[in-house]
Amino acid sequence: MIQRLVIFGVGLIGGSLALALREAGAVAEVIGCSRSPENLEEAVRLGVIDRWTTDPAAACVEADVGVLAVPLGAMRGLAEAIAGHWPEAALLTDVGSSKQAVIDAVRAGFGTLPRHFVAGHPIAGTEKSGVGAAFPSLFEDRLVILTPADETSPLATERAAQLWQATGARVEFMTPAHHDHILAATSHLPHVLAFALVESLARSGASDEIFHYAAGGFRDFTRIASSDPVVWRDICLANREAILTMLDQFQRDLDGLRAVIAAGDGATLESRFGFAKAARDRFSEQMQVQLDQ
């Protein structure tokens, strides 16, 4: 039982975590902290938090667990605001999509990385944002990756794992660098491509007609371009080296595919599409097995 949980940044992820822990009976009181009183009042109305403050230092009082759920660009400033106020033995974790950047920001903000800070990333979300989009089942059967630093207490890591397991999530562990490399490929690159495609088509002279005739494939591929631009700006800047590596690799493959189409090489085109289909089908089968277990 968490006696007092503090959510710094009460949006989709932080709000869903609070709701999930409430539903699991794992938390007694939830404190919300962000810059917007209107957002925090809405969180109270929705039953996400019990009370709120816009003062990060005040939010730290008698906290058991804290979750940093703000955009990556705000992490260092928040860490500086709670340094010296956060209870030494209380668990502190985060939900950011780039782990080394968060660890560096918390270390810089505190002056040294707290032993009870455990960097984490729930591989879950929707294209919606804000506390109004939060729901308690968001993390059920979803992966949460924890990336403890060398300084991190093993006890704190175990507590963080238990917190996420209480939401129905499956917990795995990685180094921060490996996490950032993998997520650049599986999450960051797809979001960049979705944003880029929608921007390109929206700027074209025939954008109204293009969107009018867009079918399910376009909607499925570009759904994530409705995600929060601020969040994804910060992710791209925080994990830029890994994202640039993936973009360069994708650009080479795209150039190769363009050459095949330009050459009218149907056999190679079918072979490449067949390879991609088989890989995607294997992925779908593996995901279904994991959900059935």
What local confidence, expressed as pLDDT, does residue 293 receive? Answer: 61
Closest to 115 measured CA to CA, from 96, 90, 98 = 90
What sign does the dihedral 85-67-127-217 (CA atoms) show?
positive
Closest to 164 measured CA to CA, from 182, 188, 184, 147 = 147
Token digits for 154?
A: 């093993």
Domains of the chain: 2-174 (3.40.50.720), 179-262 (1.10.3660.10)
What local confidence, expressed as pLDDT, does residue 286 receive? Answer: 79
Of all residues in the chain, what percent are helix, strand and coil, respectively (each to 5)? 55, 15, 30
- State the burial class of residue 253 (Cβ atoms within 10 Å of its Cβ: 0-12, 13-18, 19+): exposed
What local confidence, expressed as pLDDT, does residue 188 receive? Answer: 96
How does pLDDT run along the chain (293 residues), one tens digit per residue?
A: 999 999 999 999 999 999 999 999 999 999 999 999 999 999 999 999 999 999 999 999 999 999 999 999 999 999 999 999 999 999 999 999 999 999 999 999 999 999 999 999 999 988 888 999 999 999 999 999 999 999 999 999 999 999 999 999 999 999 999 999 999 999 999 999 999 999 998 888 777 888 888 778 888 889 999 999 999 999 999 999 999 999 999 999 999 999 999 999 999 999 999 999 999 999 888 776 665 66
What local confidence, expressed as pLDDT, does residue 127 receive? Answer: 84
Instruction: List, in sequence order, every beta strand (DSSP E) within 70-148.
Output: 91-94, 117-118, 120-122, 143-146
User: Buried b vs exposed e over 68-85: b needs ≥16 C-beta within 10 Å?
Assistant: bbbbbbbbbebbbbbbee
**Separation CA 136–CA 17 (nearest Å):** 7
